[in-house]
Amino acid sequence: MDSGVYRRQHSGSGGDTPASRSCIPCRHRDPEAEIERLRNVARRYGVADSAKLLSVRDLAKAVGHEEDYRALFKLYSKLVHPSSYLLNRSADEAHGVAIRQILVLKLQLYAYDLLERIRQSLKIPDEALGNQETGTETK
């Protein structure tokens, strides 16, 4: 968000407004109050409040990506967290072409999977997407 937008939302209103409370850059909120606000939103929409977070393995299994988890989680973890993998290799080795190709390919597959899940959730018929081979609408 541009700082001009941030200033406009926080100036001239005389204090705490719904716009200022929902503004993303507002990092000055009390963390406990924010947790309670999110719990209220979850209750309003019928989302269960669970004290136990699912593990990454359980999340992958829940969305049908357990095979990806087993194959790639260690690689993702090594790239995200400082590890001997990154510290003991040159930048070319640690961020080489093969690693980039794996990441780009998986990004494309995950994006397609997400779009398909959204399509199914919104019950968008296949016909609305058009002909995938030619890129034209079906009639």
Which class for 113: exposed (0-12), middle (13-18), buried (19 or more C-beta within 10 A)?
A: middle
- 8-state DSSP, 106: H
Predicted confidence (pLDDT) at residue 80 exceeds the cutoff of 90 = no
- How do residues 12-68 score in pLDDT, each as one tens digit? 444 454 444 555 555 567 888 888 898 899 889 888 777 777 888 999 999 899 998
- How do residues 61-78 score in pLDDT, each as one tens digit? 998 999 989 988 888 888
Q: What is the pLDDT of residue 39?
A: 87
Q: What is the pLDDT of residue 28?
A: 63
Q: What is the pLDDT of residue 58?
A: 92
Query: What's the rounded Cα separation, in Å, for the pair 15 and 21?
Result: 10
| Segments making up each domain of the chain, as ranges | 3-44, 56-129
Handedness of CA 12, 16, 21, 25 (dihedral sign): positive
Statement: the pTM of the whole predicted model exceeds 0.85: no
Q: What is the pLDDT of residue 111?
A: 93
The position carrying tokens 């963390």 is 31
Handedness of CA 114, 118, 119, 121 (dihedral sign): positive
Listed range (62-71, 92-101, 121-130) with the worst mean pLDDT: 92-101
